[in-house]
Amino acid sequence: MKQFVTFVLAAAAFVHAQDTGTSSLQPLVNIGYVVFPSFEALDVFGPLDPLNMLSMTVPLNLSIIAGSLDPVNTRPVSMATPSFFGESIVPSHTFADPPKNLDVLIVPGGLGTRAPIEQLQPAIDFIKTQYPDLKYLISVCTGATLLARAGVLDGRRATSNKAAWAFVKSTGPNVEWVPQARWVVDGNIWTTSGVAAGIDGIFAWIGHVWGEDTSLRIANLIEYERHTDPSWDPFAIIWNTTGTASAPAASAKLLPVIEI
Ligand SMILES: *[C@@H]1O[C@H](CO)[C@@H](O)[C@H](O)[C@H]1NC(C)=O
Ligand SMILES: *[C@@H]1O[C@H](CO)[C@@H](O)[C@H](O)[C@H]1NC(C)=O
C-alpha cells in the first residue's frame, strides 16, 4: 500500500510538473458517465482509468448517471449464460436528478444497448437534453447507438463496434457511419470503435484538450501502447464492414455469436 501511494504521488507530481500550462487553459471540470444494465466493463473502466490519473493533477469531477441510484451490473440480462459473472458500479446521480453543468458526457456500449427501447429511452432522452449544453460528447463501442437514437449524430460522421455493424447502422439511418476507423471526431462529438478502442479514443481526446505530452505520459504510466492513427482499424476487414473482404476472416468465424 505504501509503495502504491508513493507511486501515485510520484506519478501525480510528474504529470503536474509539466502540465500546469495547458490544463489551466481548459476549464473542463464536470464529466458524466452514463451507465445502464449490461454495460460493457471496459467501455467504462478503460477510459476512466486514464481520466482517474488525469484527475490527480487537473480538477475533474466525475458523476455516474443511471436510471436509479441502485448499483448497475455488467451481467447480460437479455441472454442466457451459464454464469453468475459480472460487476457493479454505483451511480452518483439519476437521469431525473442529474449533476448540474456537465461539460462532458461519456456513453458506453455493451449488450445493454440491445435492451427494449422503453428501457433505454431515459438514457436516450438524457443524452438529447444534455447535448446542447455539453462541450464534448463521447461514445465508446455501441454507445454510439444511443447517441444515434437521440438524434445528435444525424448528418454527422461517426463510428462504433464493427462486430455489431448491422445493428449500429439500423439505429441511425441519417448518420454517416464510418466503416473503418478507430475513432471519429465530428464537431464536439467523439465516437470510438469497439470496446478497447475507447482507450485509444480517450487518450486522443486527452491529448486534444490537455496536450499530447499529458496523454503520452499517462499512457506510459499505465504501460499502454496507443494507436494514434484514427484510421487504424483491422477489425473493419475482420467484420467486413467495408465490403472489401475477399475471404472470410478465420478469427471472425471462430468468434461466438455474442454481439456487443
Ligand atoms: C466539483 O465537486 C466539488 C465537490 O462536490 C464541488 O465543491 C465543486 O464545486 C465542483 N466543481 C464544479 C466546477 O462544479
Ligand atoms: C464482404 O462484403 C461484400 C459486400 O457485401 C461481399 O460481396 C463479400 O462477399 C463479403 N466478403 C466476405 C468474406 O464475406
* CATH number, position 24: 3.40.50.880
Q: Please count the structural domains in the chain.
A: 1
Portion of the chain with pLDDT greater than 70, in percent: 85
**Ligand 1 atom closest to Cα of 100?**
14
**Parent domain of 246:** 16-253
Q: Is residue 6 part of a domain?
A: no
From CA 123, how far away is CA 34, in angstroms rounded? 7
Q: What pairing do the DSSP bridges indicate for beta strands 88-89 and 93-94? A: unpaired
Q: H helices of the chain, where?
A: 2-23, 41-54, 117-130, 143-149, 165-170, 197-210, 212-221, 235-238, 250-254
Q: Is residue 209 one of the residues assigned to a domain?
A: yes
Pocket test for ligand 2, best of 240, 251, 253 (most atoms within 8 A of CB): 240
Which residue's CA is the closest to the ligand 1 atom numbered 2? 61
Structure confidence at residue 258 (pLDDT): 59
Q: Does 258 reside within a domain?
A: no
Does some domain include residue 8?
no
Alpha-carbon gap, residue 63 to 36, rounded angstroms: 14
Instruction: Give the residue whose CA is nearest to atom 7 of ligand 2.
Output: 243
Pairing, β 61-66 against β 72-73: unpaired
For residue range 180-217, what is the model confidence (pLDDT) as tens digits?
999 999 999 999 999 999 999 999 999 999 999 999 99
| Distance from Cα 144 to the centre of ligand 2, integer Å | 24
Residue 29 included in any domain: yes
2 in a domain, yes or no?
no
Structure-block grid coordinates of residue 230: 484514427
Closest atom of ligand 2 to 249 CA is 13
Separation of 248 CA from ligand 2 center, angstroms? 8
Distance CA 249, CA 239 (A): 8
Give me the pLDDT at residue 251, please.
58
Q: What is the mean pLDDT of the segment spanning 60-73?
A: 98
CA 42 – ligand 2 centroid, Å: 30
Is 259 contained in some domain?
no
Domain contains 188 = yes
